[in-house]
Protein backbone atom coordinates (compact mmCIF):
# COMPACT_ATOMS: atom_id res chain seq x y z
CA UNK A 1 0.00 0.00 0.00
CA UNK A 2 1.34 3.39 -0.97
CA UNK A 3 1.16 6.41 1.34
CA UNK A 4 -0.09 9.57 -0.30
CA UNK A 5 1.11 12.29 2.03
CA UNK A 6 2.92 15.42 1.11
CA UNK A 7 6.58 15.40 2.00
CA UNK A 8 7.36 17.47 5.08
CA UNK A 9 9.75 20.27 4.30
CA UNK A 10 13.04 20.11 6.10
CA UNK A 11 13.58 23.34 8.00
CA UNK A 12 17.22 24.39 8.13
CA UNK A 13 18.78 24.23 11.57
CA UNK A 14 19.55 27.96 11.66
CA UNK A 15 15.87 28.75 11.07
CA UNK A 16 14.85 26.47 13.95
CA UNK A 17 17.41 28.07 16.26
CA UNK A 18 16.28 31.55 15.23
CA UNK A 19 12.65 30.58 15.83
CA UNK A 20 13.51 29.25 19.30
CA UNK A 21 15.43 32.42 20.17
CA UNK A 22 12.51 34.60 19.08
CA UNK A 23 10.14 32.63 21.32
CA UNK A 24 12.57 32.84 24.22
CA UNK A 25 12.86 36.60 23.75
CA UNK A 26 9.09 36.98 23.61
CA UNK A 27 8.71 35.00 26.84
CA UNK A 28 11.32 37.12 28.61
CA UNK A 29 9.63 40.31 27.39
CA UNK A 30 6.28 39.08 28.70
CA UNK A 31 7.81 38.20 32.07
CA UNK A 32 9.47 41.62 32.30
CA UNK A 33 6.13 43.31 31.59
CA UNK A 34 4.48 41.53 34.52
CA UNK A 35 4.27 43.73 37.63
CA UNK A 36 6.60 42.54 40.40
CA UNK A 37 4.89 41.57 43.67
CA UNK A 38 1.55 43.22 43.11
CA UNK A 39 -1.20 43.02 45.65
CA UNK A 40 -4.70 44.42 45.90
CA UNK A 41 -5.21 46.65 48.91
CA UNK A 42 -8.67 47.89 49.89
CA UNK A 43 -9.43 50.55 52.45
CA UNK A 44 -9.72 54.27 53.08
CA UNK A 45 -8.08 56.45 50.42
CA UNK A 46 -7.35 59.79 52.11
CA UNK A 47 -6.36 62.91 50.14
CA UNK A 48 -6.29 65.66 52.82
CA UNK A 49 -4.28 68.23 50.82
CA UNK A 50 -2.89 68.50 47.27
CA UNK A 51 -0.12 65.97 46.62
CA UNK A 52 -0.76 64.03 49.83
CA UNK A 53 -2.52 60.68 49.81
CA UNK A 54 -2.58 57.52 51.90
CA UNK A 55 -4.45 54.24 51.91
CA UNK A 56 -5.40 52.77 55.27
CA UNK A 57 -6.15 49.06 55.08
CA UNK A 58 -6.10 46.05 57.42
CA UNK A 59 -2.27 46.15 57.42
CA UNK A 60 -1.83 49.83 58.29
CA UNK A 61 -1.28 53.15 56.55
CA UNK A 62 0.37 53.14 53.11
CA UNK A 63 1.88 56.35 51.73
CA UNK A 64 0.84 56.98 48.14
CA UNK A 65 2.00 60.56 47.79
CA UNK A 66 3.69 63.18 49.94
CA UNK A 67 3.82 66.80 48.77
CA UNK A 68 7.39 67.58 47.74
CA UNK A 69 8.43 63.96 48.30
CA UNK A 70 7.44 60.43 47.43
CA UNK A 71 4.80 59.99 44.71
CA UNK A 72 3.66 56.56 43.53
CA UNK A 73 3.55 56.02 39.79
CA UNK A 74 0.11 55.46 38.30
CA UNK A 75 -3.31 57.03 38.59
CA UNK A 76 -5.15 57.65 41.83
CA UNK A 77 -8.73 56.40 42.01
CA UNK A 78 -11.51 58.70 40.87
CA UNK A 79 -14.65 59.01 42.96
CA UNK A 80 -18.20 60.01 42.08
CA UNK A 81 -19.71 62.48 44.57
CA UNK A 82 -21.72 59.75 46.32
CA UNK A 83 -18.48 57.89 47.14
CA UNK A 84 -16.42 60.88 48.30
CA UNK A 85 -16.46 62.72 51.64
CA UNK A 86 -15.27 66.30 51.12
CA UNK A 87 -13.16 67.49 54.05
CA UNK A 88 -12.21 70.96 52.86
CA UNK A 89 -11.88 73.08 49.77
CA UNK A 90 -10.83 71.75 46.38
CA UNK A 91 -10.25 68.03 46.08
CA UNK A 92 -9.57 67.35 49.78
CA UNK A 93 -11.44 64.37 51.14
CA UNK A 94 -11.57 60.62 51.39
CA UNK A 95 -13.31 57.58 50.00
CA UNK A 96 -13.26 53.80 49.97
CA UNK A 97 -11.16 52.17 47.25
CA UNK A 98 -9.28 49.09 46.09
CA UNK A 99 -5.89 49.57 44.48
CA UNK A 100 -3.70 46.99 42.74
CA UNK A 101 -0.21 48.12 43.76
CA UNK A 102 3.45 47.40 44.23
CA UNK A 103 4.69 48.58 47.60
CA UNK A 104 7.71 48.54 49.89
CA UNK A 105 6.70 46.69 53.03
CA UNK A 106 9.61 48.11 55.06
CA UNK A 107 8.50 51.74 54.56
CA UNK A 108 4.83 51.11 53.71
CA UNK A 109 5.19 53.22 50.57
CA UNK A 110 3.18 52.40 47.48
CA UNK A 111 5.60 52.56 44.55
CA UNK A 112 3.21 51.92 41.66
CA UNK A 113 -0.56 51.87 41.20
CA UNK A 114 -1.55 49.49 38.41
CA UNK A 115 -5.31 49.95 38.77
CA UNK A 116 -7.71 51.64 41.15
CA UNK A 117 -11.45 51.56 41.66
CA UNK A 118 -13.70 53.35 44.09
CA UNK A 119 -16.20 51.50 46.24
CA UNK A 120 -19.26 52.58 48.16
CA UNK A 121 -18.40 54.19 51.51
CA UNK A 122 -20.49 51.50 53.20
CA UNK A 123 -18.01 48.81 52.09
CA UNK A 124 -15.23 50.29 54.23
CA UNK A 125 -17.59 51.28 57.04
CA UNK A 126 -18.82 47.66 57.34
CA UNK A 127 -15.33 46.11 57.12
CA UNK A 128 -14.41 44.96 60.65
CA UNK A 129 -10.69 45.23 59.83
CA UNK A 130 -11.19 48.97 59.21
CA UNK A 131 -13.24 49.69 62.34
CA UNK A 132 -12.19 53.03 63.84
CA UNK A 133 -9.90 53.85 60.89
CA UNK A 134 -12.20 56.13 58.87
CA UNK A 135 -10.40 59.47 58.33
CA UNK A 136 -11.60 62.46 60.35
CA UNK A 137 -13.90 64.95 58.71
CA UNK A 138 -13.21 68.45 60.10
CA UNK A 139 -16.42 69.70 58.46
CA UNK A 140 -18.62 67.53 60.71
Q: How many CB atoms lie within 10 A of CB 27?
A: 10
Asked if residue 95 is part of any domain, the answer here is yes
Which value, to the nearest 10 degrees, does the dihedral of the CA atoms of residues 38, 39, 43, 46 take?
Answer: -10
Asked if residue 57 is part of any domain, the answer here is yes
CATH of the domain at 51: 2.40.50
Asked if residue 53 is part of any domain, the answer here is yes
Asked if residue 30 is part of any domain, the answer here is no
Asked if residue 106 is part of any domain, the answer here is yes
Closest of 100, 64, 93, 61 to residue 79, by C-alpha: 93
46 versus 91: the higher-pLDDT residue is: 46
* Range with lowest mean pLDDT among 6-15, 35-44, 81-90: 6-15
Indicate the number of domains in the chain: 1
What average pLDDT does the segment 38-55 reach? 97
Taking 60 as the threshold, does the pLDDT of residue 41 lie above it? yes
The predicted-structure confidence for 71-123, as pLDDT tens digits, reads as follows: 999 999 999 999 999 998 888 999 999 999 999 999 999 999 999 999 999 99
Asked if residue 25 is part of any domain, the answer here is no
23 versus 63: the higher-pLDDT residue is: 63
- pLDDT at residue 27 in the model: 46
Asked if residue 22 is part of any domain, the answer here is no
Asked if residue 31 is part of any domain, the answer here is no
- pLDDT at residue 117 in the model: 98
Q: What is the extent of the structural domain holding 109?
A: 39-130
Amino acid sequence: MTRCTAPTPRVPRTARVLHALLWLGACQFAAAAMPPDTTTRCGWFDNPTPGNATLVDKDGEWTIGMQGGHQAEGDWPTFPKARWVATGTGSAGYGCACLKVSARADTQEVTHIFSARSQALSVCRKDKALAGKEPENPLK
